[in-house]
């Protein structure tokens, strides 16, 4: 094991898949640090900008062609990761493909087929560590995605390791997390003490582990809104426009969320002079009307079975914005800052400034916007589609933030011509109090991109730390209850790191290395186990005839060597090689005697050497108390022969699972033997008390007057 540990995460989103490579210091090396503060911190996970690569489209687009997802989609991502991870670390490097909202919209059958193809391709085309497909290649719920994002945000801001520097008041030091992609949106935060107690059953218990093996726990609320991402919200908006038109055959639908005079298809493609769709959208550029129509998409009037709710009838504990300060990533960042990056230098979000800039942009004619794109005046927006989508996205973000989640509208005061800069005031407010305002968009923190994938790796790296003395609870998350709840989610198949890993690093060792590596402590016992498995395999493959020859030769050999000393062990001669020591080496497995209650048939399961020999064994224990014969077979130590009573009708056969038995004669000696005997031949010792020739069976002491329909083992007097 080298100095560094690595992890590979494939974020399979709705619009594309992005591979992230992370690394952290091996725990044995990290514990050599003399700084006690660092030992009390989480593992330091690092990444680089060029360790990330994204390709389009998303994995969900391969639902109709799953056989192509490997060569056409995954191959380039795997090759990128293999260039970064050192060759000698690949086998120890876990890989995860975690799909989000795009895959959640597919049917279960389509999901499973894609996931199976993905796992098979990764295993066949790389040596990355992938011990369990169900854990490493899966569609994660929105709640899990939100919790990973919450971990990543607080990890980068330092609120985990330095809570004193992030005191928001009321003994609260963590930040809330907001994320919006194309298909879904997530929220995660730790409620204040009052709400946490009131809604304890709604919280997730998260457990992490420091470098020194000590644990830390957090109680977080997290939920997700499917179809509340920008693309799915846009689809719902278009359907609402069509429904509101109320008439068929309309060629143009006015759309206030598109720039004035822009015409697009219902799918969002710009209509050119050569294309004439049946119905198109005509932009009017009325941003206020756009805000009003997108507000309806929040579904604020939906029934709320579990109060309180924010939107769409989804329960969320009350948010205390005095202590709950949110970081927004993905669309919350790109839509509020991406297009205005050149002249919008201040990174803080202030509602009034942002809304004024969006309104000014969306009121322009489409021709003016096209010219701005050509002159590179729109920041990172260099294509027409991103430009005309901005108006809808901006209105949706504003409604989600302020009318949906309820974030205060910072900077509401008028800024036109007053020289007052609300954004700078927000920045100053954050610096003075040591924390930012109620909402802050972010793309990077301390040079590292904020991504939920980082939270997944932090959780995994934490789980690889050996627990300190007395620390036995695993790393992961689940329902908010003590111990390990039934729904507890482990970062990987390794639920608990071994306590001796800090002394000797053997974690991740492959079976072939453990068996044959020169310095492995498992080498000798591993080789012996391997040889034993080979012997057992050859034993079963050599065939019954050859085994019998071997028995006779070995039996003769052992008999000659030990006949002068072991005459008193007469039963061992019949047992063959090793007799009763190893039951599976006998030719005849132990027979189980079953006695009919009514009738004269005696069913015996297993092989018997001869009827006479079996009868002699059955009555050999004449010295048992009360004259009851109870044979203990030598091949099973002290296990008594079991005798089962049942009626002679069909119900008895059904109870044992035996059907259509022959009325006379013996079956093959390896199977069920059927022997017909007279009533007089069955001795009273074996049968016990009788009544009119029938066996009288005592009732169960636990259940009086009830007879088991299947079996009644004889008691060992």
The mean per-residue pLDDT over the stretch 545-563 comes to 69
- For the residues 79-97, what does the mean pLDDT come to? 97
State the pLDDT confidence band at 477, using cuts at 50, 70 and 90: very high
| Residue 131 Cα distances to 120, 254, 504, 545, 552, angstroms | 12, 54, 22, 41, 46
- pLDDT band at residue 412 under the 50/70/90 scheme: low
Distance of alpha carbon 116 from alpha carbon 127, whole angstroms = 17
Q: Which of 26-30, 548-552, 634-638, 696-700 has maximum average pLDDT?
A: 26-30
What pLDDT was estimated at residue 427? 43
What gap in Å lies between CA 188 and CA 146, rounded to an integer? 6
**Alpha carbons 283 and 257: distance in angstroms, whole number:** 7
Tokens of 281: 């959208």
Give the per-residue pLDDT at 558: 56
> What percent of the chain shows pLDDT beyond 90?
48
Is the pLDDT at 249 greater than 90? The verdict is no
pLDDT band at 561 (very low <50, low <70, confident <90, very high): low
CA distance 18 to 596: 70
- pLDDT of 581 > 70? The answer is no
Residue-level pLDDT at 502:
40
User: What are the Cα distances from residue 390, in Å, to 230, 348, 560, 587?
Assistant: 10, 19, 96, 81
145: annotated active-site residue: yes
- Please, which pLDDT band fits residue 327 given cuts at 50, 70 and 90? very high
Choose the weakest-confidence range: 104-118, 303-317, 517-531, 532-546: 517-531
Most confident of 66-75, 595-604, 676-685: 66-75
For the entire predicted model, the pTM comes to 0.68
**Angle (CA) 633 635 638, round 5°:** 55
- Is 80 exceeded by the pLDDT of residue 281? yes
Least confident window among 27-36, 69-78, 96-105, 568-577: 568-577
Top-confidence residue, 539 or 343? 539
Checking if the pLDDT of 632 tops 60, the result is no
The domains of the chain are located at 1-140, 544-583, 588-695
Residue 695 scores a pLDDT above 70: no
**Residues whose CB falls within 8 Å of the CB of residue 701, separated by 6 or more in sequence, listed in order:** none
As a whole number, the mean pLDDT across the chain is 76
More confident residue, 248 or 148: 148
Whether the pLDDT of residue 672 is over 80: the answer is no
Q: Which residues contact 505 (CB under 8 A, 6 or more apart)?
A: 1, 26, 28
Per the model's pLDDT, the better-predicted residue between 528 and 19 turns out to be 19
What confidence category does residue 538 fall into, taking pLDDT thresholds of 50, 70 and 90?
A: confident
Q: Which of 110-114, 494-498, 628-632 has the lowest mean pLDDT?
A: 628-632
Q: Using CB atoms within 10 Å of the CB of residue 668, give its burial: 0 to 12 exposed, 13 to 18 middle, 19+ buried.
A: exposed
- Could you tell me the pLDDT band of residue 559, with boundaries at 50, 70 and 90? low
Choice among 92, 145, 331, 593 that is catalytic: 145
Query: Which of the pair, 9 or 592, is modelled with greater confidence?
Result: 9
Q: Which fold has domain 1-140?
A: Nucleotidyltransferase; domain 5 (3.30.420)
Q: What is the pLDDT of residues 348-366, one digit of tens each?
A: 778 888 888 889 888 899 9
What pLDDT does residue 169 have? 83
Q: Output the pLDDT for position 525.
A: 65
Residues in the chain, overall count: 717
Assign 246 a pLDDT band (cuts: 50, 70, 90).
confident
């Amino acid at each position: 094991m080298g100095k560094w540990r690595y992890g590979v995460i494939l974020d399979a989103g709705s619009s594309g898949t992005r591979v992230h490579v992370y690394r952290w210091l091996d725990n044995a090396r990290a514990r050599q640090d003399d700084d006690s503060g660092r030992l009390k911190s989480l593992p330091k996970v690092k990444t680089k900008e060029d360790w990330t690569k994204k390709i389009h489209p998303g994995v969900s687009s391969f639902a109709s062609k799953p056989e192509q997802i490997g060569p056409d989609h995954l191959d380039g991502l795997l090759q990128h990761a293999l260039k970064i991870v050192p060759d000698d670390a690949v086998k120890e490097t876990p890989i995860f493909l975690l799909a989000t909202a795009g895959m959640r919209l597919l049917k279960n059958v389509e999901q499973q087929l894609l996931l199976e193809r993905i796992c098979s391709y990764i295993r066949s085309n790389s040596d990355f560590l992938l011990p369990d497909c169900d854990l490493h290649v899966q569609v994660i719920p929105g709640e899990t995605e939100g919790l990973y994002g919450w971990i990543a945000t607080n990890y980068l801001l330092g609120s985990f390791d330095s809570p004193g520097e992030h005191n928001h008041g009321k003994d609260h030091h963590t930040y809330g997390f907001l994320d919006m992609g194309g298909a879904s949106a997530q929220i995660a935060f730790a409620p204040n003490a009052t709400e946490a107690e009131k809604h304890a059953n709604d919280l997730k218990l998260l457990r992490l582990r420091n470098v020194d093996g000590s644990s830390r726990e957090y109680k977080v609320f997290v939920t997700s809104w499917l179809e509340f991402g920008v693309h799915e919200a846009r689809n719902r908006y278009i359907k609402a426009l069509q429904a509101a038109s109320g008439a068929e055959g309309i060629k143009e639908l006015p759309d206030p969320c598109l720039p004035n005079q822009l015409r697009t298809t219902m799918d969002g493609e710009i209509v050119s002079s050569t294309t004439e769709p049946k119905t198109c959208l005509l932009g009017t550029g009325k941003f206020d009307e756009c805000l009003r129509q997108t507000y309806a998409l929040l579904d604020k009037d939906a029934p709320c079975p579990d109060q309180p709710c924010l939107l769409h009838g989804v329960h969320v504990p009350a948010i205390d914005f005095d202590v709950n300060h949110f970081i927004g990533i993905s669309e919350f960042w790109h839509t509020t800052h991406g297009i205005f990056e050149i002249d919008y230098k201040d990174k803080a979000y202030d509602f009034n400034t942002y809304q004024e800039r969006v309104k000014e942009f969306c009121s322009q004619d489409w021709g003016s916007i096209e010219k701005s794109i050509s002159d590179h005046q729109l920041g990172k927006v260099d294509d027409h589609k991103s430009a005309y989508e901005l108006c809808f996205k901006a209105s949706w973000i504003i409604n989600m933030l302020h009318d949906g989640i309820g974030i205060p509208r910072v900077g509401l005061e008028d800024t036109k011509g007053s020289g007052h800069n609300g954004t700078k005031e927000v920045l100053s407010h954050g610096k003075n109090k040591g924390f930012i305002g109620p909402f802050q968009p972010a793309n990077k923190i301390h040079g590292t991109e904020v991504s939920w994938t980082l939270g997944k790796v932090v959780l995994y790296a934490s789980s690889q730390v050996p627990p300190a003395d007395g620390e036995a609870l695993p790393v992961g998350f689940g329902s908010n209850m003590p111990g390990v709840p039934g729904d507890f989610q482990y970062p990987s198949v390794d639920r608990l790191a071994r306590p001796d890993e800090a002394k000797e690093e053997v974690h991740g060792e492959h079976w072939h290395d453990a068996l044959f590596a020169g310095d492995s402590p498992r080498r000798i016992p591993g080789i012996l186990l391997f040889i034993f498995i080979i012997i057992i395999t050859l034993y079963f493959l050599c065939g019954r005839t050859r085994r019998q020859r071997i028995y006779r030769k070995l039996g003769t050999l052992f008999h000659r060597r030990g006949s002068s000393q072991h005459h008193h062990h007469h039963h061992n001669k019949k047992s063959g090689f090793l007799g009763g020591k190893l039951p599976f080496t006998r030719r005849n497995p132990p027979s189980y005697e079953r006695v009919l209650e009514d009738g004269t048939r005696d069913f015996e399961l297993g092989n018997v050497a001869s009827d006479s020999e079996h009868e002699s064994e059955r009555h050999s224990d004449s010295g048992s108390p009360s004259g009851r014969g109870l044979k203990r077979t030598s091949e099973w130590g002290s296990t008594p022969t079991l005798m089962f009573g049942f009626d002679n009708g069909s119900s008895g056969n059904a109870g044992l699972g035996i059907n259509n038995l022959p009325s006379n004669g013996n079956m093959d000696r390896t199977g069920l033997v059927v022997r017909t005997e007279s009533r007089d031949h069955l001795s009273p010792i074996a049968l016990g008390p009788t009544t009119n020739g029938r066996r009288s069976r005592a009732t169960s002491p636990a259940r009086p007057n009830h007879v088991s329909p299947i079996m009644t083992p004889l008691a060992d007097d």
